[in-house]
Homo-oligomer: A and B are copies of this chain.
Amino acid sequence: MASRGVRHDSMRARNLAVVLATIHRSGPHTRAALAERTGLTKTTVSSLVADLLEAGAVTESGAVRGGERGRPGVAVSLSGHRVAALGLEVNIDYLAACVVDLTRTVRLRRTVPADNRSSDPALILAGLRDLVKQTTAEAEAEGLRVIGGALAVPGTVEDGVLRSAPHLGWRDVRVADLIDLPFAVDNEANLAALGELWFGSGEADFLYVSGEIGIGAGLVVGGTVFRGTFGLAGELGHVVVVPDGPGCRCGGRGCLEVYAGQDALLGELASVPELVDRLESGDREALETCERAGHALGVALTSAVHLLDPGRIVLGGIFAPLFPWLEGPVGGALGARLAQMRGTPPAVVVSRTGADAAVLGAAGLVIQQVIAEPAGMLGL
């Protein structure tokens, strides 16, 4: 809705972004190649690249021979040595942080165990602030300049305010000013989806299903997260599987979470690894639980596919280690219900990023902002 007019400086800002995004998307380019790709002249590209070099966003990385004759070009590539972003995560039983450079290489990762269930927000935020100080200092010791951060929380977020995080017992907590740098807060499932996008398969279209205590989902279309009207989209856990099924803590009945949430899957078991052990040893009850959960997940995903039209489906969180036992029932339910409407139903695959999809996604989000708006973020 901004709709501000374009002036000379925004034209240049935009062109800086175009050049940087081209390098980001398709790897190192010579200035000549950039000129061709962007439609700008060599002169303009040279001038833009000079600015980006000075800001530390790119580096010249030696001559490039294309095998043809003529003067070799100088490859300009993203610089991993100057600009970095901070990713943060608060979860039920840990705080996590990571530092990622412009090339999306993870430079630092740190996890602090903590019992955040029904703990005081102020206390946890203080702990987080310590973690920020520590990691920032370490990053700076490596010569990196941290230019922004983002935080993943297991709850719903509106305008930098955490509206509600039932598993933490938080309500309306203001976390936007955690550090005095550009800072964003977002839902864990959304950021995990972005983590999968940038640190996982590299596909630009998928639905990331985040199995935790609750079940969330982040839809990525064309490399951006779909958030819905109020930023609450993707609540896969409360999609209705059986309209008159057992009650759910959300007040509804027969939600997916009742059948495939962590509590339902574990039953009386203590942890996911324990469940995996049972499954591997062929425990009948465990197998049946998983089969049931997988079927429910398949039914809910059928509805999700019809409504959201994802490119593929990526199972993450606790669903990742259980994938071998879920794949069959999920794929079966999906295939049977979708075969006729779509040639091939979306592929169901396992997440490549481990448990830290969300922290990584948070850091990646900041990097994306730098790529999209280098002039603003780097002070050009």
**A235's contact among B5, B221, B240, B341, by CB below 8 Å, is which?**
B341
The interface residues of chain B lying within 8 Å CB-to-CB of A7 are: 39-40
A126 to B238, CA, bound (A): 48
Contact with B along A226-251 (1 / 0, CB 8 A): 11111111111111111100000111
Does A353 have its Cβ within 8 Å of any Cβ on chain B?
Answer: no
**A238's contact among B4, B19, B238, B306, by CB below 8 Å, is which?**
B306
The interface residues of chain B lying within 8 Å CB-to-CB of A240 are: 241, 299-300, 302-303, 337
The interface residues of chain B lying within 8 Å CB-to-CB of A242 are: 242-243
The interface residues of chain B lying within 8 Å CB-to-CB of A25 are: 3
A340 CB to nearest B CB, Å = 4
Interface residues of A in 7-39 (CB under 8 A from B): 7-8, 11, 14-15, 18-19, 21-22, 25, 37-39
A245 to B254, CA, bound (A): 15
A50 CB to nearest B CB, Å = 16
Does A342 have its Cβ within 8 Å of any Cβ on chain B?
Answer: yes
Number of copies: 2
A211 CB to nearest B CB, Å = 16
| A229–B309 CB distance below 8 A | yes
User: Chain A interface: which size bin?
Assistant: 35 or more
Does A310 have its Cβ within 8 Å of any Cβ on chain B?
Answer: yes
Does A311 have its Cβ within 8 Å of any Cβ on chain B?
Answer: yes
The interface residues of chain B lying within 8 Å CB-to-CB of A38 are: 3-5
Contact with B along A189-227 (1 / 0, CB 8 A): 000000000000000010000000000010001100011
A304 to B307, CA, bound (A): 7
| A337–B253 CB distance below 8 A | yes
**A309's contact among B15, B231, B239, by CB below 8 Å, is which?**
B231
Does A61 have its Cβ within 8 Å of any Cβ on chain B?
Answer: no
Does A339 have its Cβ within 8 Å of any Cβ on chain B?
Answer: yes
The interface residues of chain B lying within 8 Å CB-to-CB of A239 are: 303, 306-307
A338 to B39, CA, bound (A): 50
Does A106 have its Cβ within 8 Å of any Cβ on chain B?
Answer: no
The interface residues of chain B lying within 8 Å CB-to-CB of A123 are: none
Given A299-B243, A341-B250: A44 in contact with B308 (beta carbons within 8 A): no
A91 CB to nearest B CB, Å = 20
The interface residues of chain B lying within 8 Å CB-to-CB of A270 are: none
User: 4 nearest interchain CB pairs?
Assistant: A228-B309, A251-B340, A252-B337, A5-B40
Q: A6-B6, A6-B15 are in contact. List 18 more A-B contacts (CB 8 A).
A: A3-B25, A3-B38, A4-B39, A5-B15, A5-B44, A228-B308, A228-B309, A230-B311, A234-B307, A235-B309, A239-B306, A240-B299, A240-B302, A242-B243, A252-B337, A253-B337, A303-B307, A307-B307
